[in-house]
Amino acid sequence: MAGFRLLVGLGNPGNEYSNTRHNAGAEWIEALAQQSQCLLRMEKKFSGLFGKVHIAGEECYLLIPTTYMNLSGTAVQAVCKFYKISPEEVLVVHDELDIPPGSAKLKKGGGHGGHNGLKDIISKLSNNREFARLRIGIGHPGHASQVANYVLKKAAPDDYSKIEQTINESLRYVEDIVAGNLNPVMNKLHSFKA
């Protein structure tokens, strides 16, 4: 299977959103940039923080859209168009309500599951759903009416620590992920519990 050329971490810009549950994807990209000694710079034409890294011998682009979550697709579409990247070569890292904190799941393609960032990316990529997703568990507040408030709040210290551990654990497999060796990573990651 072919690998990934664009790794995208979803979140909301601004200090008031840093360390909130909804920013788990953006934190993953920040951690990867730090690990790869890559400086993410604001790139106006891509509506986001952008950088280039070499992983597993491949040049990859890192992106954190700064458009607010609901418009994440604008940034993804701009990078894909500029570098001629197909949706199949994109990995989107995002927070996932249906997975408890301390767990993560990797999957290829699928729907948006009500996630507004994914919804916008799918629509901006001409309804192509074939990009991969790394879903970082943040847990569910228990009722749909509480979701908006819940994702925009900082996680409790115990949950936050589990989310951080999950980010660090999944970054251990970044070379395999980028190379497209998803099955062995799924086996290891899906059994991990922080």
Residue 137: alpha-carbon gap to chain centroid: 11
85 close to 29: Cβ distance less than 8 angstroms: no
How far is it, in rounded angstroms, from Cα 13 to Cα 10? 10
Residues 95, 22 contacting (CB under 8 angstroms): yes
Strands 41-43 and 48-55: antiparallel
Is 149 marked within a binding site? no
Q: Is 68 annotated as a binding residue?
A: yes
134: helix, strand or coil: strand
- In whole angstroms, what is the distance from residue 75 CA to residue 26 CA? 13
DSSP secondary structure of 80-130: HHHHT--GGGEEEEEEETTS-TT-EEEEES---TT-HHHHHHHHHTTT---
83 is in an annotated binding site: no
| Structure tokens given for 138 | 């943040």
Length of the chain: 194
Helices (H), 125-181: 147-151, 157-171, 174-179
Catalytic: which of 22, 94, 115, 143? 22
Assess whether 54 carries a catalytic annotation: no
Catalytic residues, by residue number, are: 22
Binding-site sequence positions for tRNA: 17, 68, 70, 116
Binding-site sequence positions: 17, 68, 70, 116
